[in-house]
Structure 1
């Protein structure tokens, strides 16, 4: 059944190929924030001010980063070096980037669920993932 997971991965890779521009922008700002403990503290302070659920630690998973959109916006308003460091390469995510990331995350969630169902089993699992496969179709 591992070949099913490989096929799912190929489908997802082809589907998000054109989305890499806004994914990369989000990844750059996550790396920027995580590069400094002081930035992380300030960022989490902004997240609390914006009433963002801070139980999930900021990391490269797009679904987690998308939850922190308001905190990123607040942090960007308060930290001038954020703009200076990241605008050189046009790497600050725009409103449209965040919206696209959220759309892609919502689209990819069934693929993630399907991968977990198939990959987590050592026996034939077609009956377990059939409903999810139909939903994706």
Structure 2
């Protein structure tokens, strides 16, 4: 059923295209931090000071696989305050991100939260199709109707 999950992926990609600049800005934050071990180490010390309360590690997504984008956004959203503090602490951070899509703004983080709500639903549907070795037509029909209802909303 890889074809079905690929079709779902294409539908979602088209649906969240309006918020893609916000996702690209947040992806730029993750890419910058993951680019060197010293940056990652420096970033990992910030959550203790900011009292984030999570130990999840940020990971870079594969932009063509929205499941990985959802997982990346789900983790990095918890570190929003840490990334804002990182802007003030690391001057190269601001300069490098400004050369790309830019530094995420408050509106970008809000857009990312909205995108995450949509991606979470499709993430669950994709997992439902992917977890079985033998997807039957009734499972596919159930997922297909779920997609239709989500798009109708």
TM-score relative to the length of structure 2: 0.77
Q: Does 1:25 align with 2:36?
A: no
1:66 to 62, 77, 81: 77
- The residue aligned with 2:37 is 37
Q: Is the 8 A contact 2:125 2:143 kept in 1?
A: yes
CA distance in 2: counterparts of 1:67 and 1:134, whole angstroms: 30
Q: Is the 8 A contact 1:117 1:128 kept in 2?
A: no
How many residues align? The count is 137
- Root-mean-square deviation (CA, aligned residues, Å) is 2.3
Q: Is the 8 A contact 1:58 1:65 kept in 2?
A: yes
Alpha-carbon shift at residue 62 of structure 1 (Å):
1.7
Alpha-carbon shift at residue 63 of structure 1 (Å):
1.7
- After TM superposition, the structure 1 = structure 2 runs for residues 45-64 of structure 1, keeping only pairs within 5 Å, are 45-60=45-60, 61-64=72-75
- After TM superposition, the structure 1 = structure 2 runs for residues 83-122 of structure 1, keeping only pairs within 5 Å, are 83-89=94-100, 91-121=102-132, 122=134
- The residue aligned with 2:65 is none
Runs (5+) with no aligned partner, structure 2: 61-71
Check 1:108–1:36 CA distance in 2 against 1; reply closer, same or farther (3 A cut): same
- The residue aligned with 2:67 is none
Check 1:109–1:90 CA distance in 2 against 1; reply closer, same or farther (3 A cut): closer
